[in-house]
Amino acid sequence: AYGDKTFTAIMWGKIVAAHLVSSLRYDFLFQDVDVVWYKDPMTFFHDPTRREAEFDVLLQDDGARTRRFAPSSGNSGFFYARHNDRTWEFFTSRVMSANQVSRALSDQAVVAALLSEHATMYNLRLQTLAE
């Protein structure tokens, strides 16, 4: 159930998985298991002519417009990250956020706060994808 011990453990697993791939210095697409692709999405993310190529982290729009998920309204279950010093700092902070995730009962609000902090302090360039 949402927010129970098992749910929180799964959220922690997602955080660790993203951090491990980031530690290997790869650009990567992270998605929850309920996403199905009809064509290769990597051509979109790797196209240097697209405006999105300027950003460090591209997030799926979660649709939630509450303060809890502001300002990005990004979905922590779907994002693309380019490896660089800014994203390394973000994923390191994210893995250190275990206590906050446990208190919030979800990683999404914690990710929203960290994204805002890192955009301000470390110039992390993030964009919420259009539908």
pLDDT of 76: 74
Average pLDDT over residues 22-32: 93
Average pLDDT over residues 67-93: 81
- pLDDT tops 70 at residue 100: yes
What the block records as the tokens of 52 is: 């999105």
Task: Give me the residue label for tokens 């502001």.
Answer: 70
Reference 77, options 59, 89, 91; nearest CA is: 59
What the block records as the tokens of 128 is: 């919420």
Dihedral sign of CA atoms 26, 11, 2, 109 in order: negative
Mean pLDDT, all residues of the chain: 85
For residues 126 and 116, give the distance between their C-alpha atoms in angstroms, rounded to a whole number.
9
Beta strands in 1-131 (DSSP E): 28-31, 57-61, 74-81, 126-128
- pLDDT tops 80 at residue 69: no
